[in-house]
Structure 1
Amino acid sequence: MAQASGRRRLPRLNEIGLADLDGELAVFPLAGALLLPRGRLPLNIFEPRYVAMVDDALRERRLIGMIQPQGVKYDTDDDDDDDPATASDAGAGGGLERPAALYRVGCVGRLTSFAEREDGTFSISLLGIARFRVWQEVDVRNGYRQVRPDFRLFAADLVEPGAFEFDRTQLLQSLRQYFTLRGFEARWEAIEQMDDETLITTLSMICPFPPPEKQALLEAVTLAERAGTLQALLQMAGHETDRGHKPHAV
């Protein structure tokens, strides 16, 4: 009889419960990158510590926690907005410098697809499962940071949400103004066809708000609250003067 592996594997996505998420969690500190439950986040992984993180995740439960470091400079006008988020040293803490403090709330994602390049680097995709609060940071493993997460406050993330109220028409109007002033291009037909949850989740993840504002979207208790926060952020940012940004595809 085959012996069980020393590390348990995660059940199917629609069967995951709080008990399945228990245990130490590898975290990827990346300013400006937001993962939300049921959202999909593409990432380019090339730093050795994060390559090791992906290798370990593939051998085990395929879980990676996305979390933002605090106090790290972030450029919302980065010219690489068309590309998947790229692994950065910011907040990693693998060198001699003191690692950046982490925000207290992140989101765990399941590694659902990956491609390994000839040089050993990866492109991966994470599917958001549930948010967590950092209970304790533990020892670094293979160069990457780990935490003990607490998912109890966010148990509802594991359940498909019901209908929620928000002003969809007003949100899309604010989005158009925001994109126009910033010189962004968008596939409006695809955006308008999204269901409500997908719309709020996708826009929260892709709009290049500063890290504190991204964190506010992450920590919104309900989808209705997140929609309201997103609407307010779009309206505030949409009134900024266009500073000649190059077009971006969304």
Structure 2
Amino acid sequence: MLLRNVNVAILSMCFMGGHVGVFAQSAQTLPSTIPLFPLQEVMLFPHVHRPLHIFEPRYREMLAEALEGDRIIGMVMLRPGHEADYFGRPPIYSIGCAGVIADVEELPDGRYNVVLHGFSKFRVKSEDQSCAYRWAEVEAIPETLSDSDREALRRHRPRLLEALSSLSPGSPP
């Protein structure tokens, strides 16, 4: 499913209408401070939906508070060696993606199934460590393509489409 989401995101962002365009800007605004949800080897990308299962108490609290507010959560990846401090403040990468909660199912035992819709890359400027889960001051990283990026995408478009098609047999070209 992730591969299919990445394929769709790549195609929709880069090849709209058969030509390379500038990435669309989201209507969602990135707040200056957001809760962080760090995971190992799981990423969120702008314009892509990411299903998540929230089960740890601290992240259940984070989700409940996000649902009462602007519904925004930032996802970041854990750095290698995070296991030593997993239940504390394990090291994270400073680049992440903010998502808005698009769908949520609260389970009888308090766990959640959630779908986040990514809308903005961000850089962590600083962290607030005063609550059970992480909060960070963030700054948006705009999605732009340089002229050389556009030209490279034009040149490689046929090969990229072929590679994407081979990874998702049966998907439309």
TM-score (norm 2): 0.70
Aligned residues between the structures: 144
2:142 match: secondary structure: helix
Aligned to 1:146: 135
Question: CA separation in 1, counterparts of 2:104 and 2:165?
Answer: 33
1:165 aligns with 2:149: no
Question: CA separation in 1, counterparts of 2:161 and 2:107?
Answer: 38
CA deviations over 1:140-164 (Å, ceiling 9, x no partner) = 42x211110011x32659xxxx995
Contact (CA 8 Å) 2:43, 2:75: kept in 1 or not?
yes
1:35 aligns with 2:44: yes
Contact (CA 8 Å) 1:71, 1:100: kept in 2 or not?
no
1:189 match: secondary structure: coil
Contact (CA 8 Å) 1:43, 1:123: kept in 2 or not?
yes
Corresponding residue to 2:170 among 163, 183, 189: 189
1:49 aligns with 2:58: yes
Q: What amino acid sits opposite 1:126 in the alignment?
A: L
Contact (CA 8 Å) 1:91, 1:101: kept in 2 or not?
no
Contact (CA 8 Å) 1:138, 1:145: kept in 2 or not?
yes
Contact (CA 8 Å) 1:39, 1:127: kept in 2 or not?
yes
2:97 match: secondary structure: strand
1:23 aligns with 2:29: no
Larger Rg computed on CA atoms? 1
Question: CA separation in 1, counterparts of 2:78 and 2:99?
Answer: 17
Alignment map for 1:103-182 (pairs within 5 Å): 103-141=93-131, 143-151=132-140, 153-154=141-142, 164-165=153-154, 167-171=156-160, 173-174=162-163
Contact (CA 8 Å) 2:72, 2:101: kept in 1 or not?
yes
Cα distance, 1:154–1:121 mapped onto 2, change above 3 Å: same
Contact (CA 8 Å) 1:30, 1:91: kept in 2 or not?
no
Aligned to 2:90: 100
Aligned to 2:18: none
Aligned to 2:6: none
Deviation of the 1:187 alpha carbon? 4.7
Contact (CA 8 Å) 2:32, 2:139: kept in 1 or not?
no
Contact (CA 8 Å) 1:92, 1:144: kept in 2 or not?
no
How much identity, in percent, do the aligned residues show? 28
Question: CA separation in 1, counterparts of 2:144 and 2:33?
Answer: 21
Q: What amino acid sits opposite 2:68 in the alignment?
A: R
Contact (CA 8 Å) 2:41, 2:78: kept in 1 or not?
no
Contact (CA 8 Å) 1:31, 1:72: kept in 2 or not?
no
List gaps (5 residues or longer) in structure 1: 1-12, 74-89, 178-185, 194-250
Aligned to 2:5: none
CA RMSD of aligned residues (A): 3.0
* Structure that is richer in strand per residue: 2
Contact (CA 8 Å) 2:52, 2:115: kept in 1 or not?
yes
1:59 aligns with 2:68: yes
List gaps (5 residues or longer) in structure 2: 1-24
Question: CA separation in 2, counterparts of 1:91 and 1:127?
Answer: 30
Contact (CA 8 Å) 1:28, 1:92: kept in 2 or not?
no
Deviation of the 1:130 alpha carbon? 0.3
Question: CA separation in 2, counterparts of 1:72 and 1:116?
Answer: 32
